[in-house]
Amino acid sequence: MDFTLLTQENGRIAYSPVIPPSLARFCIPGTRNLFATGDFGTILFCEQSTPDFNLWHKCYFIKQSTTLSTVADAPLFQLCVAVNRPLRFQQQGMSKVKLAEGQFNIFYAPVVNTQTWFDKGKKYIVYEVHLSRGSLEPLTPYFPLLAEFLVKAGKGIPCQLSPVHAHVTPDMMGLLHDMHYCSYKEEVKVMYLQTLLSRLMMQFLTRLSLVRVPTNEVKLQPYELAKLREAWDYLLHHIEHPGSVADLAHAIGMNEIKLKKGFKQLYGITIFEFLVEARMEKARRLLLETDMTVHAVAISVGYKNISSFTVAFKNKFDQLPSEVQGSGMR
């Protein structure tokens, strides 16, 4: 699907496939790359596509606060992930949406007419997966929330799948990364991307279903939500030596009990489970993309015992670290 992007003065933004040298390092071989610039700043879009879906990696380098409109005379099912900062937008016929950093949801628009607000001097990174209805329908028997969503879509009602946005996990981000950086070609590429999409959608739909009806819900004030997001960032930046839950609570200035309950409620995963996912995902990338030894990788993600690291890695990926090592560099 082709989209028209407009400035707040309704000026049409022209795309170019010719990428300036200053942005060339952000482009991925094998993807469709589009570049645009204007008084608002600079945009770089990278697209991976198959017959059933399109994956967009969007970078907005905003020079001045602005509103950009996206229009298309066609229906759209879209998974949207705000990667690095909050994203604010409104689709015609829906209320305003604010995805916090790391949050996602799935949206439907019978006709695309969306306004997105950007702040001066900020860089926005967004993942979008544009889906076909046919790719979603086989999953409806397993996800009642999805079935309700598709009923509304069938009536031409703009809607979002879950009333509550969910947060991505390191594993989900890893799948998006692998799809975006896919190096296969032709039929093999399509098969590979479709396989990853199936895994991705199962995880995203499961997470959205979990946050819809939280159990033992604790009341979280806006400042406490901010503290929980701070805890997420703290764990990612202290993956080797995160300390205890008490240490984390002290670092972010939050009650330990509320930290544990709030983290599970907001992210659908315990602090320990999140840390293991983050460590395993980082380890897999290091093994694929560097020449580090298995022992060095284990230490870099916080494991002193190589055997414990090997067991955790095997449980997560059903492969030994040595079987993965260097395969991404061949």
Say which CATH number the domain at 297 has. 1.10.10.60
The answer to whether 324 and 284 have CB atoms below 8 angstroms apart is yes
**pLDDT computed for residue 126 by the predictor:** 96
pLDDT of residue 304: 87
In single-letter form, the type of residue at position 127 comes to: Y
Range of the domain at 226: 222-329
Lateral strand order in the sheet of 66-72: 4-6, 66-72, 112-118, 87-91, 97-99
In a domain, 217, yes or no: no
pLDDT digits (tens, 9 = 90+) for 20-32: 888 777 777 778 8
Alpha-carbon 115 to chain mean position: 20
Give strand pairing partners of 109: 76
pLDDT higher than 70, residue 330: no
Domain count, the chain: 2
- Domain co-membership, 55 together with 115: yes
Q: 281-314 pLDDT, tens per residue?
A: 888 888 887 888 999 999 999 998 889 999 988 8
pLDDT tens across 160-176, in order? 999 888 888 888 888 99
Structure tokens at 174: 């890893």
- Rounded percentage of the chain residues whose pLDDT exceeds 70: 95
193-205: average pLDDT: 92
Q: Are residues 170 and 299 in the same domain?
A: no
User: What is the chain's mean pLDDT, rounded?
Assistant: 87
Of 18-22, 84-88, 218-222, 274-278, the one with minimum mean pLDDT is 218-222
Residue 310: the pLDDT is 92
Identify the sign of the CA torsion 46, 50, 51, 53: negative
Together in a domain, 19 and 146: yes
User: Which residue type occupies 238?
Assistant: H
Residue 256 vs residues 12, 80, 129, 230, 249: alpha-carbon distances, Å? 51, 32, 37, 14, 5
**In this predicted structure, what is the pLDDT of residue 329?**
43
One domain for residues 139 and 281: no
Distance CA 68, CA 37 (A): 12
* Cβ atoms 263, 270 nearer than 8 A: yes
Q: Which of 212, 238, 259 is the last residue of a domain?
A: 212
Secondary element (H or E) of residue 66? strand 66-72
Domain end position, chosen among 212, 230, 254:
212
pLDDT bin (cut points 50, 70, 90) of residue 157 is very high
| Entry pTM | 0.70
Beta partners for 70? 5, 114
